[in-house]
Amino acid sequence: MSHASISMRQDKAAKQSLGRDPRMMVLRLRTLIALFILVVIFAFTAPAFLTTGNIIILVKQVALNAILGIGMTFVILTGGIDLSVGSIVGLAGMIAGGLITEGLILPMFGVSIFFNIPLVIAFTLIVGMVVGLLNGLIITKLNVTPFIATLGMLYMARSAALLRSNGATFPNLVGSDLLGNTGFPAIGAGTLMGLPWAIWIMVVFIFIASFVAARTPFGRQVYAVGGNERAAELSGVRVNRVKILAYMISGFCAAVVGLIITSQLVAAHPATGNSYELNAIAVVVLGGASLSGGRGSILGTIIGAFVIGVLNNGMVLIGLSEFVQTGITGFVIVAAVVLDQSQQRLQRQLALQQATAQVLDTQQGKEVA
């Protein structure tokens, strides 16, 4: 039995030194390092990059992708995908814009009711969640694969946004004192301690979402469903409910983004948010999530959002043509996933090498002694 305790001690030593190995650190923090390198490159090539003004603009941009990405992370963790978020962004804007400009029209009474801004926001968010709920119901109850279900919803929600105004824009959403619905532009323009609200909203979302994903039963169940649905089911996880909730969260996040953009523009345009779903998926994947579900994290997604944000912002500043920019963004996404794959392999190999070296070392030591 004595050799068992020796090997235990070896194991512990191996594990400790493993954490400290610089090569392992590099691998684990690769996305952060990539982000840092990008920042350094742009700091040198574009003088305007590190100015306070630019950084705020940059983070404000990042916030949109980050919030969408947070919702998408939950969906992707369950092993699904949500292609409808871009359309929900557009629909949410049109719902809010319509409520402010025209109110809720009740044709049978020939009146329309105007709400104050908090109610407008609440109503819009509910619409976002209802679309998510529909996604979830179609996927779970009608057994449609997530890709198809949300692809259909991409078209349907966009159509609803266009129908709301017959394709027109709701301009100048300042509201009127008379109707008691002023103040909408504050979401986009307002600041707190010098930072735009969008950034604060993102920060709050990061905290809540990280907590939910890592510390609550729901979060654990999301990972479980993505990892092995049938085993999760037998463990008493209400698989359908977890999936539906994930799509509702995604719809909610998309509606928030829709509100922020509409407010920033002080106008609602039905084409807003076109192809945003692709950005959202990109940041989640950049953050190390697996599209087959069960692996990924909120923090990873946030870092992914920053990588895309810094890249886009920096490339504009150094004056790269838009055509080149798109290509580079695409390249980075593929490269990140390739790196992620090789990182996992490398990490395993490194761990093995180290453990082996340790054991063989101690064996030799014993022989010498």
Partner 1 sequence: MSAQAPISPDEILLQAKQVTKVYPGTVALKNVDFNIYRGKVNVLIGENGAGKTTLMKILAGVEQASSGQLLMDGKEIHVSSPRDANRHGIGIIYQELNLYPNLSVSENIFMSHELTRFGTIREKDQYAIARDLMRRLEQDIDPNTIVGDLRIGQQQIIEIAKALAQNVRILIMDEPTSALSNIEVEVLFRIIRELKTQDVAIVYISHKLDELLQIGDYFTVLRDGALVAETHAGAINLNWIVEKMVGRRADSLFKHSEHKIEQEILQVNDLTLPRVGGGYVVDHVSFSLRAGEVVGIYGLMGAGRTELLESLMGLNSEARGAIILNGRNIAGLDIKSRIALGLSLVPEDRQLRGLIQKLSVSHNITLASLSRYLRMLALSSRLERASVRYEIDELRIKVANPDDLISSLSGGNQQKVVVGKSLLTNPKVLMLDEPTRGIDVAAKGEIFEIINQLALNGLGVLFVSSELKEVMAMADRVLVMWKGCITAELQKHEISQEAIAAASVGTQTSPETNTTQEAIR
Measured from the CB atom, the residue of 159 and 356 that comes closer to partner 1 is: 356
Of 165 and 358, which has the nearer Cβ to partner 1?
Answer: 358
Nearer to partner 1, 78 or 87 (CB): 78
Contact 184, 100 (CB under 8 A): yes
Shortest Å, Cβ 226 to partner 1: 7
Which residues of the shown chain bind partner 1 in the complex (CB under 8 A)?
3-4, 7, 10-11, 14-15, 18, 211, 215-217, 220-221, 223-224, 226-228, 230-238, 294-295, 351-352, 354-356, 358-360
Nearer to partner 1 among residue 93 and residue 296 (C-beta): 296
Nearer Cβ to partner 1, position 9 or 147? Answer: 9
Query: Quick one: 118 or 217, whose CB is closer to partner 1?
Result: 217
Q: 338-357 burial, b if ≥16 CB within 10 A, otherwise e?
A: ebbeebeeeeeeeeeebbee
Q: Between 324 and 348, whose beta carbon lies closer to partner 1?
A: 348
State the angle between helix axes of 85-101 and 146-165 in degrees (0 to 180), rounded to the nearest 10.
20
* Cβ atoms of residues 221 and 242 within 8 Å: yes
User: In terms of CB distance, is 236 or 319 closer to partner 1?
Assistant: 236
CA gap 369, 366 in Å, rounded: 5
Q: How far is the CB of 275 from partner 1 (least distance, A)?
A: 30
In whole angstroms, how close is the CB of 341 to partner 1 at the nearest point? 15
Q: Nearest Cα to 65, choosing from 213, 210, 198, 184?
A: 198
> Nearer Cβ to partner 1, position 234 or 368?
234
Q: For the CB of residue 46, give the shortest distance to partner 1 in the complex, in Å.
A: 41
Long-range contacts made by residues 132-135, C-beta under 8 angstroms, separation at least 24?
132/82, 132/88, 132/244, 132/247, 132/248, 132/249, 132/250, 132/251, 132/252, 132/254, 133/244, 133/247, 133/248, 133/251, 135/82, 135/84, 135/247, 135/250, 135/251
